[in-house]
Amino acid sequence: MRLYVNISTILFLALFSCSGKGDDATPYISMPTPPVDKGWSFESAAFWQDEFNYTGKPDSTKWGYDVGGSGWGNNELQYYTNSANNASVAGGKLSITLRKEDFGGRSYTSARLVTRDKFDFLYGRVEIKAKLPGGKGTWPALWTLPTDYAYGNWPSSGEFDIMEHVGYDPNVIHVSAHTEKYNFKLNNGKTGIRTIDNVTTQYHLYRMDWTPYSIKGYVDDVLLLEYVNDGSGSTEWPFDKRFHLLFNIAFGGDWGGAHGLDTNIFPATMDVDYVRYYKMIDK
């Protein structure tokens, strides 16, 4: 009589008997390994930039617009337009201007410039030299969002705020990272805060350094936040896909309007002297 044993059965038995402990054996599960900080650096010459050394509307090869007055998820009061009345370049600077005027069913207009599908980047250094608007209710931001939302809608695919400021808390700069696990709606967002004199009357340098190991946010070369990749996956580190830049001024909303509005501040303007992007040097 011929004895026939299926090879898959042999492999199955071998797998579960190799420990010599039978049913009491604990299977080995490999844990994710956090990335190693390789000390990445950045190129000295900008790969992409806008020095705003022209006159007119923002360069259409570099900038697009988010347009509308939907509240933008934060109950904001402005209508974002693509008008030169709200975003223009002259005198070596970009000016984003918040105005009190009726448009699109809203009482205020502003602009939200984006580099989406014109300049998207994965890792690197971003430098932005800007002077911020003042006044209770203003909410300017220099920030980034994912271009492809590979891990799902906000906040699953991430957000990094290079600079946020609310007018009711003058001169206080916020740098923040938002992910599925850590975000402001869970009240556990990762944020660095610094008080700086004269943010509405003088230019300051806002910077992001992004590598596979971490994202760092600086103001005037002082580190405010380092958000580190712990290797646990996209719920904590969705920052391995391409992102783009956004510059805007919101008015009111859940944060900007939390302490009321000053309706005598208009027009309120954020001026940007330059924005520069430097590639990461891989190792």
pLDDT value at residue 31: 56
Judge whether 180 counts as a catalytic residue: no
pLDDT value at residue 16: 37
| Distance set, CA 261 to CA 21, 174, 223, 264 (Å) | 70, 20, 31, 9
Confidence of residue 62 (pLDDT cuts 50, 70, 90): very high
pLDDT value at residue 32: 65
pLDDT value at residue 217: 98
Q: Which of the two residues, 3 and 54, has the higher pLDDT score?
A: 54
Confidence of residue 283 (pLDDT cuts 50, 70, 90): confident
**Where exactly are the structural domains of the chain?**
42-281
Catalytic-role residue among 76, 127, 164, 236: 164
pLDDT value at residue 125: 99
Mean pLDDT for the chain overall: 91
Neighbours of 17 (CB within 10 A): 11
pLDDT value at residue 33: 75
pLDDT value at residue 15: 38
pLDDT value at residue 204: 98
pLDDT digits (tens, 9 = 90+) for 151-188: 999 999 999 999 999 999 999 999 999 999 999 999 99
Tokens in use for 166? 């609310």
pLDDT reading at 29 higher than 90: no
Judge whether 164 counts as a catalytic residue: yes
Catalytic-role residue among 43, 51, 127, 159: 159
Fold of 42-281: Jelly Rolls (2.60.120)
pLDDT value at residue 10: 35
pTM for this prediction: 0.88
Mean pLDDT of 142-147: 98
Mean pLDDT of 226-236: 96
pLDDT value at residue 19: 41
pLDDT value at residue 23: 47
pLDDT digits (tens, 9 = 90+) for 119-129: 999 999 999 99
- Nearest CA to 261 among 93, 90, 139, 117? 139
